[in-house]
Each structure stands twice: as structure tokens, then as C-alpha cells.
Structure 1
């Protein structure tokens, strides 16, 4: 029986796809035996054609990585997702080149939106800090036992039917 493979014994070379039958291909080198090995991980066609593909792709990528843990530890889960996405698009009838362009466009869009969200969250935090400073000190709460309308917070001029 062969010795258990460790993460430190693996040198990843390539990750790719096989279109028929659909599978993710992983080529790596075993440092101990100095042999280059090929791991073929089949992907079920039913998952590739499902209506809930996005969540299935995340699950499938995580599942493949977990099942082949010592071998795939050095491979980013996003690379595996990319391979599964390419298989999905090919099953839908797209060419691999078109699917690759679509994936790159989707990835660039995600990066742009993510950086815009990061910028807007930074500016929101700065504006929140300035708003807090501006709102302080205008209302006098000396007479807390008085009814709310007597404290000067609400006036009858506001026209709110609730306070009349």
C-alpha cells in the first residue's frame, strides 16, 4: 500500500477540463517519486445543467477540493470554480473560448463592483462621522418629565395627525 500523500509532497503543474465526459483535470508532480501524475475528477452532467448552477458550482468546487484534500490544497477554489463554469457553459452549447471570455468579463465586473463597494463604504464611514458631530447639542432635554411635545422636539406646525 502506498504511503499517504502530504501537501508538501505535491507540486501543481496544470488545472484544466475534459469536455467529454465532463471532468476537471489536475496535473501535478509527486516530489518523493519524481513522477508527474494526472487526476481526473468527473463532474455529473445533471449538476452542470441544473437551474441553480451558481450555488451548485460553489458546492461542487468545495466538494471536489474536500474529497481530494491533500492533492488540491495548493489549488485555489476559484480556479476549480472556473473549470466548472467552463464545463457548464460548454454543456449549454457555448464554445470554450466564448465561455472563457464570459468568465473573464464576469470576473472583471466582480472586481470593479467590489472596489466600488469598498470605496463607497469608506466614504460612507467618513460621512457618518461628520454627521454625528453635526447632530450634537441642538436639543435641550432639561425637562424630561414634560410631555414630548413640550420638549420642543415636535411642534404642532409639522402637520402630523398622530401628535394632534
Structure 2
């Protein structure tokens, strides 16, 4: 059994999680409590982070294995200052060009690119990510709401390795999705 907001739910997964999620679009902060796959929880405390220039999400996640163990709230910890990695990002709005750059922060040690599906639309994303976010992206729905990764994420760990690309997608639905998820 895991806490899920105000109630307890039976889980088929092996772990419970509680997370503090910070989205820097407008300085919003949210918390989640749910069931998660054990592959997301190694080790028990992790920081997942991604940065697409106009939006950044950092989630401080604590996992545990006993009934209702995720009743405690998690605090934001860790260094979120700029690091040495720089990656390509996409222009905001309706732009289809991804040739601007973004400075990575904290544990964002990889460049990333791919597409997500949200509200019936495919949206491009390109920017910085933590290594653990790259490895567990398909299982991070508890952090990103209803976002589904259609292509990728494709991650690499050297400066500007997520080469600039041109596509016919918009990043606006992705940013709006992150904002709406945290606002709820």
C-alpha cells in the first residue's frame, strides 16, 4: 500500500514514492505520492532533472518499500547551479528549429532530444537532462503527468552532442503540459 495524495492505494509495483517537483516556468512547486517501478528507485533517493531553456523540471524523489512509507514530504536538496555542459534547445512558440543553446544545471550531465505526445499532439524537445532521467524516461509518468515519450529520449554526454535539427513540431504543448501538471 502506498499513499496517493490523501488516500492509500494497492500497488502492483515494488516501491512507493514521494517527490517534490519544481518547474521553473513560473516558479511552481508540486508534490507527488504514488506507486513506482523498482527500476526508478535505485538508489532510494534520486534527483531527476531536465531543462529545455524555457522550462526546467527538477524532481527530488524518495522511494521506500513498506506500507504507507511515503507519507513524509521530500525537501529540495542538491546543487542546481550552472555546470560546464551546454546543449542545443529548440526555439519556443511555433518554431521548428533547434539550433539555440542552453546551459545545463546541477546534475544535468547529458544532452537530450526526442518527441513527446501530449494532448493528442507530438512535440519536440531538446535540451539538458540528468543521466537517470535518460535511463528511466518511459517510467517517469508520475513526474511528467500525461506526457508520453514517442521518440527518445536520445541522450549523449558531450557539449552540443544533441545536434541541431529541424522538425515540424511545436514545443509549446510540452511546456504547457509541465505547467499544468504542477499546477494541479
> Which TM class, normalised by the smaller chain length?
under 0.3
Q: Which has the larger radius of gyration?
A: 1
Question: Taking CA–CA contacts closer than 8 Å with sequence separation of 6 or more, which of the two structures ends up with the larger relative contact order?
Answer: 2
Question: Which has the larger helix fraction?
Answer: 1
Q: What is the TM-score with the length of structure 1 in the denominator?
A: 0.25
Q: What is the TM-score with the length of structure 2 in the denominator?
A: 0.23
Question: Which has the larger strand fraction?
Answer: 2
